[in-house]
Amino acid sequence: MVIRSIARAKINLVLNVLGKRPDGYHEVETVMQSVALHDRLEFSPGTGGIKLSVAGGDIPPGKENLVYRAAELVRTQTGIRQGVNVLIKKAIPVAAGLGGGSADAAATLVALNKMWQTGYSLSELMRLGEQLGADVPFCLLGGTALAGGKGEQLEPLPSCPGLGLVLVKPPIGVSTAEVYRAFRPELVEKKPDCRAMVKNLKEGNIAGIVENLANALEPVTMKMHPQIAVIKKKLLAAGALGALMSGSGPTVFGLARDPEAARAIAARYDKTYEQVLVTGTCNRGTQIE
């Protein structure tokens, strides 16, 4: 039996950093949105523990991989000793602010729950996922959600209008931990307002959504990598309604009214220096095929 799963990326439509917690993590408030761009994972029963193979992306194939850690977590939680072979077909850019590792971890939890018939409910899987990364519970839930805490406390929101997205990733990887370390409240120029974003999402008001795009981490990563400001300008010049860095970056997304408008923006965008992907918002996260 082969189980195939789809692991969708995410963007942050708004992200606010509220302060540092006693455990060293930062308290965030963010509106997360699933996007259609996804990795594909294939799981088949194996005999020799957890074995990974990776196609199409530069990620570790061993114990450091979040897929390995997710599978190991299910095995230790349940005492299951069965092995599994996993093929990860990577399409989400790595270390990009698009939550690719978290999405793969979420897809692993869902697939192994089915393969090993462990019977976890979605909320139980979300609690397990928290141990792997703050974005994993969101990837399991999918759609549109307001997140608090480290990002793991979720409140589902009504679906975002189906928007087109142009994702632009410069040829650099960013360490999320390093960006949070360099965060200073005084760097933030446009104060992220999650409440206003939620209101506009509920109303399906695209102009309001665009107006409220804001990310407190953007100026931090931008200081390290000034080309992020250039990408934003280029996306707007190519016709994007708005543009914002996702998560800790460096990927910048440009919003468009629909996927066709996103394709037109991407066609106008000079791709000499950056990877450009066309996708759209999606109301599902992780999914078994």
Which residue ranges make up the site for ligand ATP (CB under 6 A)? 59-60, 64-67, 88, 94-102, 104, 133, 135, 176, 247-248
Helix (H, G, I), strand (E, B) or coil at 249: coil
Measured from the CB atom, is 12 or 200 closer to ligand ATP? 12
- Smallest distance, Å, CB 26 to ligand ATP? 13
150 φ/ψ angles, rounded to the nearest 5 degrees: -85, 0
Using the structure block, give the residue that is written with the tokens 């109303």. Answer: 203
Cβ within 8 Å of residue 142, ≥6 positions away: 8, 34, 282, 283, 284, 285, 286, 287
Measured from the CB atom, is 60 or 156 closer to ligand ATP? 60
- Smallest distance, Å, CB 243 to ligand ATP? 18
Measured from the CB atom, is 64 or 258 closer to ligand ATP? 64
Measured from the CB atom, is 113 or 176 closer to ligand ATP? 176
Measured from the CB atom, is 248 or 281 closer to ligand ATP? 248
- Smallest distance, Å, CB 48 to ligand ATP? 20
Nearest residue to ligand ATP, by Cβ distance, number only: 101
Measured from the CB atom, is 87 or 264 closer to ligand ATP? 87
- Smallest distance, Å, CB 68 to ligand ATP? 8
* β-pair partners for 51: 85
Residues 191/29, Cβ–Cβ less than 8 Å: no
The CA angle 286-148-105, to the nearest 5 degrees, is 30
- Among residues 39, 90, 104, 135, the one annotated as catalytic is 135
- Smallest distance, Å, CB 132 to ligand ATP? 10
d(CA 14, CA 193): 7
Q: In what order do the strands lie in the sheet with 275-280?
A: 242-245, 252-256, 164-169, 275-280
Q: How many CB atoms are closer than 10 A to CB 42?
A: 17
Reply yes or no on whether 10 is catalytic. Answer: yes
163 φ/ψ angles, rounded to the nearest 5 degrees: -105, 150
- Smallest distance, Å, CB 234 to ligand ATP? 21
Residues 147/154, Cβ–Cβ less than 8 Å: yes
Reply yes or no on whether 90 is catalytic. Answer: no
Residues 276/168, Cβ–Cβ less than 8 Å: yes
Q: Which two tokens stand for residue 209?
A: 């959504």
Of 64, 244, 55, 78, nearest to 165 by C-alpha is 244
> So which residues are the catalytic ones?
10, 135
